Structure 1
């Protein structure tokens, strides 16, 4: 792995750990400026997410801009831009289809649906709406560069597509700290890896990933109350169904 990629991985890891020092520092700064301590406790996680994600994205893009290294995928002729745009649009539908299939498999395996990670993000968005920018734009950019361009791309130099996509997807799942939804994250990883290999342009899975995240976050943020009501009704129907079967 080239040293530029090593610097990018270090930057990404530091971003993930930066809240340990950055959070308390931001809290003390806000309190010193006159913000109520209780208020700062609710604001710090959201604002530090925005700060850390944006800084990491800027640093990583600068590293890539200065780098001349290309992996085996990018050394091949990329598809024309108009085909890349079409694949990016198609990639959004592919990603949602992969999610539906993966969710169905997880349900059959008895894995509870719903993502704690997503719910935590929605709570952050409610407190600091700017978090939408971090999780819907900066996050997908970082993840595609780290998990597809660097990790998958490096593995693809030595392994068949399936194994390179599988390993990078498992790492993608671990990074989200939701191992119970490994199938779901693997489905996403395989989809975005396919788009990368098919088009030879990392921008294609980035656009598809950004579009998917933006849609999901906005829907869950704007229609949060309606979604909760639908969940309550579904749970009530399930309870009634079990009661009827018991009789």
Structure 2
């Protein structure tokens, strides 16, 4: 079974870098991302049309290629969490975690005995089809190597963050700035003092509990700023943004070179 390299990075207090897959669901994309040197890829099910079959194929390819597949689930039912894990996801990014009790209830279905009651299946994509002779050892390894990352996206989550960070089995915290800004009454304003104060609150709470924290960065300048600050979880842009930014810039440059600036076609 593959070990989760993000666990080792965080144990060494080093940051992990990745990106999002939100529209590209060709398996070769996982190989391409792995070759870039990124550590992880988030497979987006909450805001995409990805099917569980597609996600399973992407997880399998990502594992084989050497990049950690993490799934943001499509729903809140137990099978919304366990099906991606059984399909090979090496972690879950949990939307809008607001209380320690909510997180505990999710862990109870995503962790095996004795931490939880996840339905036992010891041979599948999540075990690389390897079944160890000591089931308890395999269960312990799976529990330890499967990541649980909680998203803070509301004032309620902020208010309960210390208790959330104290839950056994939480690996990292991610701020969802878009939804959080909306809940704080400043929708989409990423520079508003209210949102900045909330980010600082998350950082302080996580560092007090030694929980890795982070959020998405969209450019190198902001990435460098937060790396210096101690960020340890950074999804960088996503597939849609990377494609749009690359080709919109190229298209503008090419039209300028050819004298087409200001021309509609």
| Range class of TM-score, shorter chain | under 0.3
Query: RCO greater where, 1 or 2, for CA within 8 Å and sep 6 or more?
Result: 1
Per residue, is there more strand in 1 or in 2? 2
Per residue, is there more helix in 1 or in 2? 1
TM-score (norm 2): 0.25
